Amino acid sequence: MSLLPSPLAMVAKAPVVPVVVIERLEEAVPLARALVEGGLPLIEVTLRTPVALEAVRLIAAEVEGAIVGAGTVIERAQIETSLEAGATFLVSPGTTPDLLAAFTETPIPVMAGCASASEAMRLAELGFEVLKFFPAEPSGGAAFLKSVAGPLPHLRFCPTGGIGPYNAPDYLALPNVVAVGGSWVVPADAIRAGDFGKVRDLATAAAALKRAAAFA
């Protein structure tokens, strides 16, 4: 039994985890509210912009129902700053030995990234039970996850990378996929235009996607 905080319960709240890049801080709260209203409460704010951590802080403080986390965590220092900002989970695109060591001491759930069976097995040995499969489509897609379900039945995945409304159902039909990550529900043009109604509508459609029975 893993002693690490598990992200399973929170990731199972909706079939899609929006992967959000926030360029302007004033977009953070209305964007998060639109996602929550559409039925996607779990929000991954990627640490790719100068305002990302402050965006996490604002969403955590001001958006009721939002479960906000920090994504694109690639170094140890980002863990502490994400915790200070109020992140409730962390996501990494991959894992280095130093990052893994830090993750095993992190008090909030982590979805550590993997792209192969060997990486997944190593993460499982350390107690991680829900992994980010990234980049999903270039790394074998749904066919890869289907093939590892037999030898690695205890692992669950949140695939991200190249996933949209056209292929998300293929992933969500798999019993080892708890959710998919995607940016199609937060199109950059809609955000720049302040069209958060469009974001809400896309989130509503995504929230209606069906998952395997284990996570229904």
132 as an active site residue: the answer is yes
Q: Which two tokens stand for residue 151?
A: 């030898």
**In terms of Cα–Cα distance, which of 107, 91, 93, 30 is closest to 66?**
30
198 as an active site residue: the answer is no
Cα distances (Å, whole numbers) of residue 142 to 119, 131, 159, 208, 212: 17, 14, 9, 20, 13
Residue in 27, 37, 129, 132 annotated catalytic: 132
**In terms of Cα–Cα distance, which of 187, 135, 167 is closest to 18?**
187
Residue in 27, 37, 44, 129 annotated catalytic: 44
Q: Which two tokens stand for residue 199?
A: 């974001």
Is residue 92 within 8 Å of residue 134, measured between CB atoms?
A: no
Q: What are phi and psi of 105, to 5 degrees?
A: -110, 5
Which residues form the catalytic set? 44, 132
